[in-house]
Amino acid sequence: MSNKVIYAIYNDDDILMDAVKTTRAANHHIEEVFTPFPVHGLDKALGLAPTRLAICSFLYGCVGLSFGTWMMYYIMIQDWPQDIGGKPSFSYLENMPAFVPIMFELTVFFAAHLMVITFYMRSKLWPFKQAENPDVRTTDDHFLMEVAVRDNEEELISFFQNTGAIEVKVIDKH
């Protein structure tokens, strides 16, 4: 079975947005859209679910805050208590105001670094991975919409030419 797709190429983001809305209204399945820069509102036009990365970021920040709190308690209270600037190290609560900058920095550190790792894993962006963009112009100034073909090739070609596509290609993906 051959998997044919249509590549509709556009040269303006506003025309692309109108084409995405028209394509979804006509009940054609959009596989992917490739753009050289983020297009505001494209995720909503495509009907994509909201991302859960913010939840991950919050949880990673909580891990960083917990690690920072534990680390400071262990180092400064249990393992090696020191009298720094006349402040005795009898309890964590007495010294907590001095530890706030460290807690903040570790919260940001953990959230930022673990978010980068999560993003790369979720996007499957591994080191030395080959690019998957179907047309090199999508990294410069063109927009590409990939739509699945289901025995309606001629109809789709004329449909996308009417949406303002500057080029329409039928590709057989293996």
Question: Is the separation of the CB atoms in 23 and 163 below 8 Å?
Answer: yes
Residues of the chain with pLDDT under 50: 1
Per-residue tokens: 160: 């996308």
pTM over 0.85: no
Topology classification of domain 3-36+141-173: Alpha-Beta Plaits (3.30.70)
The predicted structure's pLDDT at residue 1: 47
Residues 113, 154: Cα–Cα separation, whole Å: 48
The predicted structure's pLDDT at residue 80: 82
